Structure 1
Amino acid sequence: MTMIALGSALGTGLFLGSGAAIGVAGPAVIICYAIGSLIAAIIACAAGEMAVKYPVRGGFGTMAGRFLGPFAGFITRWAYWATTVCVAGAELVAVATYLKFWWPELPLWVGILVFALVIVFLNAYSVKSFGLVEFFLSGIKVIAVVAFIVIGLIIVFFGLPSHPAEGTRHLTENGFIPNGPSSIWLGMAVVMFSFGGIELISISAAEAKDPVRSVRSAGKATIWRLATFYVLALFVVMALMPWSAAAGTGDLSSSPFVMVFSEVGIPAAAAVINFIVLIAALSAANANVYAGTRLIHSLSYQGMAPRALQRTTKLGSPARSLAMSCVGILVVIVLALVTENVFLIMMSVITTFILVVWILILGSYISYRRKNGASSEFRLLGGTPTAVLGILGLVAIFAAVLSSPDMRLPGFVALCFYAFLTAVYYLFVRRFVGSDMDAFDEAEVATSV
């Protein structure tokens, strides 16, 4: 369960998206990631506390339907589907971007298209050993980050035979907050993209043999590891090279993590890191296409999506749901034909989607605490006031997204999608949506047993 959450939250947002965050906040991006870790911890603990009490199928989507009403449940589920679809596209953009490390002239859309075909093939014909493969790929990703941090700290404080110790001069040579205090707020709009996946603990709880023990241990491990990995990794990046270089040219043409090893004269290590983050992004794209396909397939049985999506092939693959969940891939291929700034556009849309999902999770938690009181097995420290603080932080970040010139338009596009979902719900879906009470009744029986 820990590896599922880490595998989703520890990935392209850190390896590639951190370049955009550095461009906004400079070395103060370390503060951004520290604040982001705190907000992510609030979300994970709130979702975990509810999951311990009600380890229901559908996780936080079912929680929203139960504690905030059917409309909230509908919006949460569809918003999360849209998030997985867009993340799949963004991860393929990352894969194509990493390929430029070896083939700088390769058009972005070519890399996206080639690996998109691979992903679609894998999801259409084989899902065997999916969890095991994702576990090992996530493990590779975690090992890569740990190795980067250890080697980076050695270079910063002790140096290598071929490279003297760097020290921390790069952190302050142009000021720790070169773009002013407001850059920390604006940087949060980019940083929070990195924490997407922290909510998966809630979804996986329904399949755990011992939800209480699993959620408690996985929640704590995920929170502390994410905070440590993000803050230390960004400290290493900021200490080893000037922040303006780590930010690149603004087109996210290379990962800051790869650039660090190239900058200190270890090109072989840079190539290895680039290969690892490429595989990690491909793994995440595959996982999100899989998740989006299964989610939209299940929604068709709940009256929240067209019934035609229930059909499967002779091999048992929900082909129509798969086709619908590839819409994000089609979008990024089209965008790649007209602009090189595809990743930032997709990151803006995804951030808007996931912020709304997180706000609904915390809103569900506040209603849950009002009706159930505190859980004795696993709880969010501070309870309702902490959740309210988390919501205020997410709203402030939402405002930062709409205040950023580069993220404003994609953010408004995501808001238009919510307006579309609202119209669809009240015009077509409302009368078909059932209650989430059955799932809660089953959970109460299971936990009492």
Structure 2
Amino acid sequence: MTSSTTDIPQGDGHLARSLGHGQMAMIAMGSALGTGLFLGSGEAIGIAGPAVIISFAVGSLIAATIALAMGEMASRHPVRGGFGTLAARYLSPFWGYLSRWLYWIVTVCVTGTELVACAAYLAYWFPGVPIWAGILLFAAVIIAINLATVGSFGVIEFFLSSIKVIAVVVFILIGALLVLFGMPGQPAAGFSALTADGGFAPMGWPAVWIALSVVMFSFGGIELLSITAAEAKDPARSIRTAARTTIVRLAFFYVLCIGIVLCLVPWQQAAGTGGDVATSPFVMVFDRIGVPGAAHITNLLVLIAALSAANANLYAGSRILHSLASDGLAPRIAAHLTARRVPAVGIAFSSIGLVGAALLAFTGVGGVFGYMMSLVVFSVIMVWALILVTYLSFRRHGGHGTSFRMPGGVVTACGGLVGLAAVFATVFVRPSMQIAAMVGIPAVLVATILYVAVGRRRLVPEDIDAAFEEAEALR
């Protein structure tokens, strides 16, 4: 039985349940469908050539196991803190603590770097505007959006993500037309480019595996399905719909878009498309059919994509911090909600990445963002692995979704863990993954020491139990 929002107790600590299932799916899409598709796919193409299509297909299968496992658990327990609170219950309080703090670090770093991208895209039109000023401008926009009611946030994020989805659909339709039928005076491109210039796998089949280290993080953001469950109007229906549609859309969009790009653009040329807007795969396809101002259109799209991703990550960071504070694992003040049921203190703390990005841009310090993103890579792998391990424990203790179950259950989850292990194994051959391990492992050690020294004494198990009781009462 579903409670209406008017039935929900509004005491301090209870988030408002205002998100519809369409909004939940779009919030997850807003984080996952970002500049990686519009600009950043060139690096993966450069590693594997046309065979990167297989990398994206395999990556989507791995991501699907994570999304579906979260969907099943969250439909049963739509708790604040999502997968982190579930890990605290089904694994141990330490793993719940670690997964949430690691993911908070991810959201802080990603929010800051996405706003750096926004500022760079703004400078494409207004080169006189300093990067730090652009960061502060867009920071004010997303903070204002997040301080509004969660319903308003959902509407705005739905709108921003819809623009990206429409753009991708238009791109696919135009690209498919060029590949299959051509245009007046322009013959169909066909599929010959996929095997030209060295064949389908010019860098060898091992490169398909190595490219996964880049491809997998195009799917980052699906974790939001679990976090938004605590603010869903109808958790069971919303999670079921969002989990299924999000992963299908992402797989369809990424695989089809990359395939179309590689049919229309020689892969060596597409491999160099990660640098700027003017050489984006989108611009190349739009230029091919003579769309005027293709670079300006693409710049607007990537700006919206980055702004939407920053907006969604700030939301996720504030909710994760709220759950940590509610469990005694972060300053208790971060659990406070405004009259609009918004964790304003959590939003303020989670904005540290925005301030840091502006300061780094102002002082001209270089190289820091590379390490920040390496930490993101390592943390996301750990979080995803913990989600699947939590799911295995969830099923071992007799748990199952009330209205939604992952096809294959435990077998599928184990397959996802094998896939994540394969992605992590690229640490032996990719320098960027080695940096990720060098930054990430010390970060985990520091977090563990802090938990033993401080967090373990502050943790009140009853707080975790209360989160599950609250979710059960409102589900």
For the 8 Å contact 1:345–1:407, the answer to whether it is kept is: no
- 1:405 aligned residue (420, 427, 431): 431
CA distance in 1, matches of 2:428, 2:128: 33
CA distance in 2, matches of 1:20, 1:305: 38
Q: In terms of mean alpha carbon deviation, does 232-241 or 8-17 score higher?
A: 8-17
CA distance in 2, matches of 1:151, 1:233: 11
CA distance in 1, matches of 2:258, 2:425: 24
Q: In terms of mean alpha carbon deviation, does 289-298 or 113-122 score higher?
A: 113-122
- Note the C-alpha offset of 1:246: 1.7
- 1:442–1:312 Cα change, 3 Å: closer
- Which runs of structure 2 are paired with 1:35-434 in the superposition (5 Å)? 35-99=58-122, 101-102=124-125, 111-120=134-143, 129-161=152-184, 163-174=186-197, 175-248=199-272, 251=275, 255-262=280-287, 265-307=290-332, 309=334, 321-333=346-358, 337-339=364-366, 342=369, 346-375=372-401, 377-401=403-427, 403-434=429-460
For the 8 Å contact 1:303–1:434, the answer to whether it is kept is: yes
- Note the C-alpha offset of 1:362: 0.5
- 1:414–1:96 Cα change, 3 Å: farther
- 2:466 aligned residue (425, 435, 438): 438
For the 8 Å contact 2:41–2:273, the answer to whether it is kept is: no
1:31 aligns with 2:54: yes
For the 8 Å contact 1:163–1:264, the answer to whether it is kept is: no
For the 8 Å contact 1:68–1:367, the answer to whether it is kept is: yes
CA distance in 2, matches of 1:410, 1:172: 33
After superposition, what is the alpha-carbon deviation per residue over 1:126-162, rounded to whole angstroms, capped at 9, x for unaligned?
A: 9782211111111111111111111111112222236
Aligned twin of 1:3: 26
- Note the C-alpha offset of 1:106: 7.5
Q: Which amino acid aligns with 1:199?
A: E
CA distance in 2, matches of 1:251, 1:334: 23
CA distance in 2, matches of 1:163, 1:105: 40
CA distance in 2, matches of 1:152, 1:42: 29
**How many residue pairs were aligned?**
446
For the 8 Å contact 1:246–1:259, the answer to whether it is kept is: no
- Note the C-alpha offset of 1:36: 1.0
Q: Which amino acid aligns with 1:359?
A: A
For the 8 Å contact 1:251–1:340, the answer to whether it is kept is: no
CA distance in 2, matches of 1:8, 1:330: 20
Give the 3-state SS of the residue equivalent to 1:129 in structure 2.
helix
Q: Which amino acid aligns with 2:329?
A: M
- Note the C-alpha offset of 1:402: 5.8
CA distance in 2, matches of 1:316, 1:53: 23
Q: Which amino acid aligns with 1:216?
A: R
Q: Which amino acid aligns with 1:305?
A: A
CA distance in 2, matches of 1:258, 1:101: 15
- Note the C-alpha offset of 1:265: 4.2
The Cα RMSD (Å) is: 3.0
Q: Which amino acid aligns with 2:406?
A: L
Q: In terms of mean alpha carbon deviation, does 111-120 or 383-392 score higher?
A: 111-120
After superposition, what is the alpha-carbon deviation per residue over 1:282-334, rounded to whole angstroms, capped at 9, x for unaligned?
A: 12212322332343244334211134546789999866544432332344456
- Note the C-alpha offset of 1:259: 3.8
Q: Which amino acid aligns with 1:390?
A: G
- Note the C-alpha offset of 1:238: 1.2
After superposition, what is the alpha-carbon deviation per residue over 1:381-421, rounded to whole angstroms, capped at 9, x for unaligned?
A: 22112211111211221222563123422442133222211
- Note the C-alpha offset of 1:189: 1.0
Give the 3-state SS of the residue equivalent to 1:372 in structure 2.
coil
TM-score for the superposition, normalised by structure 2:
0.84
TM-score for the superposition, normalised by structure 1:
0.88
CA distance in 2, matches of 1:440, 1:125: 26
**Structure 1 stretches lacking a partner, 5+ long:** none
For the 8 Å contact 1:312–1:318, the answer to whether it is kept is: yes
